[in-house]
Chains A and B, each alone.
Chain A
Amino acid sequence: MHIVVCLKQVPDSAQIRVHPVTNTIMRQGVPTIINPYDLFALEEAMRLRDLIGGEVTVLTMGPPMAEDSLRKALTFGADRAVLLTDRFFAGSDTLATSFALASALTKIGQEFGVPSIVFTGKQTIDGDTAQVGPGIAKRLGLNQLTYVARIVELDRDANKIIVERRAEGGVQVLETRLPVLITMLEGVNEIRRGSLESAYRAASAKIVTWNAAAAGITDLTKCGLKGSPTIVKKVFAPTPRAEKAHQVPTDGLAPEALADAVIAEIFSRQPSVESDLVRFSAGQ
């Protein structure tokens, strides 16, 4: 079985700084890492491969230096790495990114076998949109399973998969047909270290590198800045709140009076909460 895992190289958010004057993110010199959520997807993909056989291909779109993340994925134990890199992709939002990745996935299917499962992390730590995975599924007509916490069963003969999905208020157990796109939840497994042999292979492996043309992309208007309707209006660092906790005196108050006192205190500090609640109760 062929499994593809989409990864993103992101700046290590623990080491990111915001320029004090321009309020822009200072990326220079900030170490990069594989988006942490994607590692859960990669480990799950390799676990399935180890169980039922097959291959894991990792795919990323990014600048040439994104190769580092791919080599890292190979060190963990992925079998093949594809880097999608082209200046036409610069400035892509989630719409353009899902277009490019979907095109590359089609090409991967032609070159290395059609994937039965495409994995992504649940979201990235730099964009935090959680849109690219579902975008790819839509474009490729794959059934999408988002926020998956566990793969319960994979029946290749019946071509079906059963997963547990974390949802508000509980766990959903979903069954669907392959091929699927799965966005994997965090904390569901732990990425392996990778053997010495896979580390060695990763160090000398050839990374499959495609530009837009090689990935079979002809419509460049759907790529990069041109293909991205999202407009970044402003990037800013929120100012730390000066005020922290506030204590409401409660001595001798009856429970209802106490609740009123707390609510009055909240409303006085966050007037929007009051107006929202009023609107909500009026059914608007």
Chain B
Amino acid sequence: MIEERFDAIVVGAGPSGNAAAYTMAKAGLKVLQLERGEYPGSKNVQGAILYADALEKIIPDFREDAPLERHIIEQRLWTMDEKSYVGMHYRSEDFNEERPNRYTILRAQFDKWFSSKVREAGAILLCETTVTELIRDGAGKVTGVRTDRDGGTALADIVILGEGVNGLVGQRSGLRPELQPDSVALAVKEMHFLPREVIESRFNLKGNEGVVIEAMGTITDGMTGTGFLYTNQESVSVGIGCIVSDFAESGKTAYGLLEAFKNHPSIKPLLENSECKEYAAHLIPEGGYHSIPELYGDGWLVVGDAGQFVNAVHREGSNLAMTTGRIAGETVIALKHRGAAMSKANLAAYKRTLDETFVMKDLKKYKRIPALLHRNKQLFGLYPRLLTAAAQTWFRVDGVDKRSKENAILRSFRKGRTLSGLIGDAFKLARAWR
């Protein structure tokens, strides 16, 4: 057992744990951070996009030394069928600003950097140390953690769980239910190396400009999910993910989907002559607002993926993780300064503050979306096909007059989904989006 008592123990050294540990250590609190991986980032997988705003609120001058790949000036949203895609692209010179808004990053490098900042701020980080359970006193208040190392207990006023999507410690300690297969996605990705100049010419970029492609459609073979392709400095990250229960039902494999995605005629040329140097897989909590577990209790708080803080619609997660981590840290600091106990009643301030931020507001806004996407598979098969077929009808010049083309397109939609089906889908989508 570690003799010293800590103000806070943070479980996990990902974005949420690092944000919490950094915020508290910076304010002079005595922080112990425990990470099961060999080094921070060794267990973490993300696409990965860094949203500057969330990190700026923690480390304002992060751009000076953080390992960033490319800032994103162009976003492409693709709806795909087997042979084509219909895309909406947005590219703007405005994104070439002095303090860019979004970056691609390599998590193994970024997490190491973030962790070095946490340690500079004064937190003590122990790697290769897995927290096995929470220690409670007679009244049920969490007073510390037990680890898998010999003599492995450490005590603190509060334990912040930034343990990631699986949330095993919380689950084992009865703070949260087991993760449900229909509220979590399995995503796989590969890193394909390409020379800088090739990436720049292939994606129409210069310097550190970057492009992201988010794709949906028949690429997920009838399952609920999306694919992506992000440009890094000298590599391209390409991946795809679907809801776990869909994989279980269909018996399809994630790597099978990725192989097909990479070989799609719209994707293949972008990866030509590249060398795959790395592959990874991870779970993503996509259950949204309704899947958020208890976030606080006597002596504990939950942050990041462990709290299911992912906005699946906008592909945001790490920014929610950092924001929840920061606010958890600030809540603890405020209580500490007041000399107040880390009780459930006092820690409710964490949830109240979160409710006022984009984190909860966005998740609340889209609370119906996960179930909608899960139950309406036509969004991932039928509609993409109708849309691409419509585009082809519209753009192909073949002597047919435009009014007839319009009618043919409308007929194809009515035939594919019936009028009431179309109206119902539109209504459901509008209601869920509201």
**Interface size class for chain A?**
10 to 19
Q: Mark A241-260, 1 if CB is under 8 A from B, else 0.
A: 00000000000000000000
Q: How far is the CA of A156 from the CA of B1 in the complex (A)?
A: 33
| B 142-168 contacts with A by CB, 8 A | 147, 149-154
List chain B residues, Cβ under 8 A from A75: 128
Closest chain B CB from A158 CB (angstroms): 34
- Of all chain A residues, the one with the shortest Cβ separation from B145 is A196
Cβ of A203 within 8 Å of any chain B Cβ, yes or no, is yes
- Supply 21 A–B pairs (Cβ within 8 Å), ascending by A: A193-B149, A193-B150, A194-B150, A195-B150, A196-B1, A196-B2, A196-B129, A196-B150, A196-B152, A196-B153, A196-B154, A197-B1, A199-B128, A199-B129, A199-B149, A200-B2, A200-B32, A200-B124, A200-B126, A203-B126, A204-B124
In the A-B complex, list the 4 residue pairs whose CB atoms are closest, starting with the nearest. Answer: A195-B150, A196-B149, A196-B152, A199-B126
Q: Which residues between 117 and 146 of chain B lie within 8 Å of chain A, taking CB atoms?
A: 124-126, 128-129
Closest residue of chain A to B151 (Cβ to Cβ) is A195
A203 touches B1 (CB 8 A): no
> A195 contacts which chain B residues (CB < 8 A)?
149-152
Binary per-residue interface labels of chain A (200-213) against chain B in the complex, 1 for a CB within 8 Å, 0 otherwise: 10011000000000
Report how far A193 CA is from B151 CA in the complex, Å: 12
Name the CB-closest residue of B to A33.
Answer: B38
Q: Measured between alpha carbons, how far is A75 from B129 in the docked complex, in Å?
A: 11
Asked if B147 and A196 sit within 8 Å, CB to CB, the answer is yes
B151:A197 contact, CB within 8 angstroms? yes
Task: Give the distance in Å from the alpha carbon of A29 to the alpha carbon of B126 in the complex.
Answer: 22
CA distance A218 to B330 in the complex (A): 53
**Docked complex: A189-243 residues within 8 A CB-CB of B:** 193-197, 199-200, 203-204
Beyond A196-B129, A200-B32, A203-B125, 15 additional contacts (C-beta under 8 Å) are A75-B128, A193-B150, A195-B149, A196-B147, A196-B149, A196-B150, A196-B152, A196-B153, A196-B154, A197-B1, A197-B3, A199-B128, A200-B2, A200-B154, A204-B124
B138 to chain A, nearest CB (A): 24
Which single residue of chain A is at the shortest CB-CB distance from B147?
A196
Q: Which of B226-254 touch A at CB < 8 Å?
A: none
Assembly CA distance A197 to B32 (angstroms): 12
Chain A residues with CB under 8 Å of B1's CB are 196-197
Q: How far apart are A28's CB and chain B's nearest CB, in angstroms?
A: 12
- Report how far A199 CA is from B154 CA in the complex, Å: 12
Interface residues of B in 1-29 (CB under 8 A from A): 1-3
B95-125 near A? 1/0 per residue, CB < 8 Å: 0000000000000000000000000000011
The smallest C-beta distance from B231 to any residue of chain A, in angstroms, reads 19
CA distance A196 to B152 in the complex (A): 5
A196–B150 Cα distance when bound, in Å, is: 6
Q: Which residues of B contact A203 (CB under 8 A)?
A: 124-126
A197: B residues at CB distance < 8 A = 1-3, 151
A73 to chain B, nearest CB (A): 14
Minimum Cβ distance to chain A for residue B400 (Å): 54
